[in-house]
Structure formats: structure tokens, C-alpha cells
Amino acid sequence: MPPKATSRSSISQELFSVLSFLSPRRRVQLVLVFLLSLVGAFAEMATLGAIIPFLAILTGGSEQCSALSVVCGLSPTQISFGFAAIIATATLLRLLLAWVSTRFAYAAGADLGYEVYNRALHQPYRFHVERNSSEIIAAIGRVNLLITSVLSPIMQGMVALIICIGIIAALITVDVTTALIAAVSIGLFYVVVTKTTRKLLEANSRIEAEAETQRVKILQEGLGGIRDILLDGTQGMYTKRFRTATFRQRTALATNLFIRSTPRYLIEGAGMLVMVVLAWWIQSTQGLEVALPTLGALALGAQRMLPQLQVAYLAWSSLSASKAIVSDVVAFLNLPMPTEIDPNAAERAISASPSQPVVVLDKVGFAYKSDGAAILRDIELVVPQGSRIGFIGKTGSGKSTLIDVIMGLLHPTSGEIRVGGQVLSDSNRRAWQSRIAHVPQSIYLTDASIAENIAFGSERHQIDMARVSAAAQRAQIDSYVQQLPEGYDTHVGERGVRLSGGQRQRIGLARAFYKNADVLVLDEATSALDDATETLVMNAIAAIDGDITVLIIAHRLTTLKNCDVIVRLEKGQIVRQGTYAEVIGN
């Protein structure tokens, strides 16, 4: 599930929370859109105000003519052109307003999408371990829905409401009683509709959000495990699950779309009946000659206002139908960002000398949950600078977790870690991690070139090809790359699917060598290599600068022969540490 909000908030509060993450520039733009909306509303009032003298002149209404002598002094042609100019101006303003508000909504969406992704990437490793990546992918996708289903409709709805207010104000100047009766009647209708549909819209919103996360998860599992799916012939299971989730999502979307569209047809029919009644009443009380300009103004006002009311209602219903989407996006936007890093922390993080340990673990313990079983208990370990430390133990003994704690990816739940004499904390953790090169058992490769994967995290134009080649030679992959038609520009496919397991691991090793890090961490990093290649790689590691500290996890004990210290773990505790001969023997 996405990160939870600290308290239950209304949809309006969450929407304002979203807007609070907009940059100052976007907030200024929002104000400008609002001001342009006011101009549009005045244009609509001017259109309605002009219809009365226009119809009065055309019908020859003497009463209206006497009241509008200035206008009546113009010829019918001049009046017609003037009226057309007002309508054209109002139309252009509405087009401009639609363009500006839409551009603003999508620009704001780009900012919010960046913010969600930025905050997700800056969360601690534990945040990612404890949730499925599909939740983050779905949340970033929901930012797009936030634009199309929330921000854009809200912008249009805000404009529509302002225009409606302007239209009603203009109609009141024409006929107070009739305008108020029509406005109150239509307003009550929409109030009743919103009260009766709100809960259903919100319920369907939750269904849609849950189904979307499920769809992304099924897609990831199906495409990520395509080899096993093809071998097992389980395509039907995954497509069935995908169809079920998709149907559930689309049903909720269709229901909400119907609810949002229905009032339009009801209000249009009711509006026509109201206009007929008002026309009869005005004609009966005032006469046709007097009533025609008024009826024309009311008809034009209704023609302008009803669509705007529907737009405003669509904005509200879109917001209610997207409550779960807004909540999920807000939850990610509220994720904390790390504190600013001390620019001098990098130097202080590893200020060790040969006589000072790089890392000291003092009674370190770790558990994923406060009331859960401890993964590590009372770990005491000293890692001297330039040493080679090997970790052994059965599967589940805590080796990889201990390495993650040392690298600062997981925070100890008890005890402390000192790096170069400094207690490892939020202020220097990033600096410490910048000195580490990590090679996991499962190497992540992007669908890019071999060079880009070795220089992972560098822009293409910043890649040092000399360093790439040198790193590849140490990782025993250079000779293979040189035989390829495109050499280091060869694309490896998604997750390195075009390479063997050993080739992927050697690219992972080359990536670590490319970093020229002070600490090299190998977590089963040579398990996919044959004995001869592993020997060459380990000899290259043994030959690296003596000031570089190397931490190695391996099940193949011969991999650890060159280590200065071997640490054996059992059930999250260090049970023995010493030389290779002392811990492993012959």
C-alpha cells in the first residue's frame, strides 16, 4: 500500500495540500489564470448586456429604445456589428482561458510528477524493501490521472463558476425575480445530485486506485518472469488476473463517468421546460413586444450558463471520483526529504588512517519491525582501513543484512556505527555511501549500452571511456566486449537479458571498479563465474590499492582465501572471527 497520511483529511484539504507543493512560479500562474477568469466572466456579462438593446432595436420596442437612446441612435447594422464584436471578443477570451488553464494544469502535473519521483528515490532503502515497486510506479502514473481527472477539470470548473456568477449577475439586471428563481432551482438540483452521488463516486475511486496498482503488479510479474511463464505455459493465469483487475477498474470508471454525465441531460430537459414556463409568464404579464428582449437575454443566459454549470459539476464529481488518487499522490508528496548534507561531511566520513578503523560496529542490532524478530543481535566488529573481510554463514544468518547496515542502507535499531571516528547519522550517511562500490549477487542492468551500464549513474557525455575499459579489463569482460560488432556501445537488453549470468556479474564488477571507491563490497558477486574467471577476478581484487577496504560475502569458501579476517554468522550473531585458517581451517 502507498504511504499512509498521518490523519484523515477531506478531499478539499488534500487538494490544497497538492497545490502547496507547487513552485512559486506555478502559484503566480494560478493567480493569473484566476484573474483571466474574471475577465472572461465580465465578457460574458457584456454579451448578455448587449443582447437586450440589440433585440430591442431589431423589434422596434419603443420602451427599450427610450431607455437606451444612446444605442438607439445607431443604425441596426452598426448595432449588429457591435454585438458581433462583443461575442467574438468573449469567444476569443474563452479560448485563451481554456488554453492557459489547460497548459497550467499540465505544467503543474509535470512538476508534481517530478516531486513524487524525487521523493520516492530519496526514501531510505527500508522504505523500498517494505513495499512493492508497483505501488511507486502506480503512484507516479496517478499523477497523470491527477491532471486529467482532477487539476484540469478543477481549473475548468473554477473558470465555469466565475462565468456562471457573471451570467447570473447580468440576468439579475434584466429580471431579478426570474433570474433568482432559475438560479435557485438549478442550484438546488445540483446540490441534491452531489449529496446523493458523493459516496458512490468515492467508493469507485478507491476501487479504481486499488485495481490500477494490481494491474501494474501483474504486468511487472508477467513481463519480469516471462522465461518461466513461457516454460510453464502459465500465460492464461496472468492474462486472467489482468483481465479481472482491468474489468474491475473499468467498471468503476464507467459508473463514475455515467454519474458525472447524467445531470447534463436532466438539467437540459428541465431547463427547456423552465424556459417555456417563464416565456408564458413574462408574455402574460408584460406582453410579447416588451418580453421578447428579456426572453432573448434569458435564453442566451441559459444557453451560456447550463454548459458552464455542467463543467463545474464535472469538476466536483471528478474530484470526488478521484479521491483515492489524490490521497495516494498526497501521501507520496508528504514523504520526508533527507536533510541537507554537510559539504565537508564527505571528508570527515572517512578520515581514517592505517591506525584508525574505517568502520566500527558497537553492539549493533536490527529488526524490520519494533516487535518483530531481530535479524542482527549485538554485532561487534572492527573493519580496519585497507583490510579484506570475508563473511560466511548459512542462508538467513544475516550476512546481507549486516552488509546493508554497514553501507548505511538500513539503520540499526540498537547500538551504533562509527565511520572514520564519526557516528553514522543522517548528516554524513550520504557522504559515507558515496565512498562505497557495491556488487550484489543479482546485478541490475538497464536497457542501455555496456559502457552506460559500467558507468551507471553517469550521463552519456560524461562517461570516461578510458576508465570504462580499465574497469572492464579488471573484471575480465573486456576481451568479450572487444569481440562484439558495436563494442562498448552494444545494448544489453532489459535487465541484461542478452547476456549470460556470468557476463552480467562481470559488468557489475566493472561498474564497481569504475567508481574507484574507497570501500568495495562484494555480495556473492562471483557466484555465477566459472572457477578460472573467478580466480582472475579475485586476483585483480587482491592487487588493488592497499588503502581500499574490501568486504566479501561468499558461499564458495575458496573465494575468501586472501581475506585478512573471516567472520562467521549464525542466527544474526557473530559466533567466530579470525584468520581463514582459524575459522575455516583446511
Q: How many CB atoms sit inside 10 A of residue 312's CB? A: 22
pLDDT computed for residue 465 by the predictor = 92
Q: What is the DSSP string of 6-63?
A: SS---HHHHHHHHHHTS-HHHHHHHHHHHHHHHHHHHHHHHHHHHHHHHHHHHHT-HH
Shared domain check, 300 and 168: yes
Residues 6 or more apart whose CB falls under 8 angstroms from that of 570 comprise 393, 394, 397
Shared domain check, 327 and 349: no
The answer to the question of residue 265 being in a domain is: yes
**Count of the separate structural domains present in the chain:** 2
The answer to the question of residue 497 being in a domain is: yes
Backbone dihedral angles phi then psi of residue 362, each to the nearest 5 degrees: -115, 100
The answer to the question of residue 338 being in a domain is: no
The answer to the question of residue 286 being in a domain is: yes
Shared domain check, 527 and 458: yes
Q: Phi/psi zone of residue 291: left (φ > 0), alpha (ψ -120 to 50 degrees), beta? A: alpha
Shared domain check, 367 and 218: no
Closest CA to 196 of 317, 349, 307: 317
Shared domain check, 426 and 303: no
pLDDT computed for residue 340 by the predictor = 54
pLDDT computed for residue 20 by the predictor = 82
Range with the lowest mean pLDDT among 201-205, 339-343, 529-533?
339-343
Q: Per-residue pLDDT tens for 451-506? A: 999 998 888 888 899 999 999 998 888 988 999 899 999 988 887 888 888 888 88
DSSP 467: H
pLDDT computed for residue 435 by the predictor = 87
Shared domain check, 353 and 461: yes
Q: To the nearest whole number, what is the mean pLDDT of the chain?
A: 79
Q: Are 511 and 471 in contact (CB under 8 A)?
A: yes
**Domain coverage including residue 458:** 345-583
Helix, coil or strand: residue 519? strand
pLDDT computed for residue 7 by the predictor = 45
**Residue 534's CATH number:** 3.40.50.300
Residue 215: what residue type?
R
Q: Give CA–CA dist 47/66, Å, rounded.
A: 21
Shared domain check, 560 and 428: yes
Q: Give CA–CA dist 14/21, Å, rounded.
A: 11
The answer to the question of residue 426 being in a domain is: yes
Question: Domain ends where: 288, 309, 333?
Answer: 333
Shared domain check, 372 and 329: no
Statement: residue 166 has pLDDT above 80: no
Q: Per-residue pLDDT tens for 5-24? A: 444 556 677 777 888 888 88
Statement: residue 347 has pLDDT above 70: no
Q: Per-residue pLDDT tens for 94-126? A: 788 878 877 887 888 888 888 888 888 888 888
Statement: residue 365 has pLDDT above 90: yes
Shared domain check, 242 and 108: yes
Q: Give CA–CA dist 462/446, Å, rounded.
A: 17
pLDDT computed for residue 567 by the predictor = 92
Most confident of 89-98, 338-347, 383-392: 383-392
Backbone dihedral angles phi then psi of residue 171, each to the nearest 5 degrees: -70, -35
pLDDT computed for residue 6 by the predictor = 44
Beta-strand pair 376-384/519-523: unpaired
What are the CA-CA distances from residue 32 to residues 261, 410, 488 (Å)? 30, 46, 51
Statement: residue 341 has pLDDT above 70: no
**Residue 312's CATH number:** 1.20.1560.10
Shared domain check, 182 and 266: yes
Q: Give CA–CA dist 173/124, Å, rounded.
A: 62
Shared domain check, 231 and 358: no
Shared domain check, 367 and 240: no
Q: Per-residue pLDDT tens for 235-281? A: 888 888 889 988 988 888 888 878 777 777 777 777 677 667 766 77
More confident residue, 530 or 377: 377
Question: Domain ends where: 333, 356, 385?
Answer: 333
Question: Domain ends where: 281, 300, 333?
Answer: 333
> What is the mean predicted confidence (pLDDT) over 564-571?
91
Whole-model pTM?
Answer: 0.71
> What is the mean predicted confidence (pLDDT) over 166-186?
75
Instruction: Establish how many alpha carbons lie within 13 A of residue 194's alpha carbon, considering only the half-sphere containing its beta carbon.
Output: 17
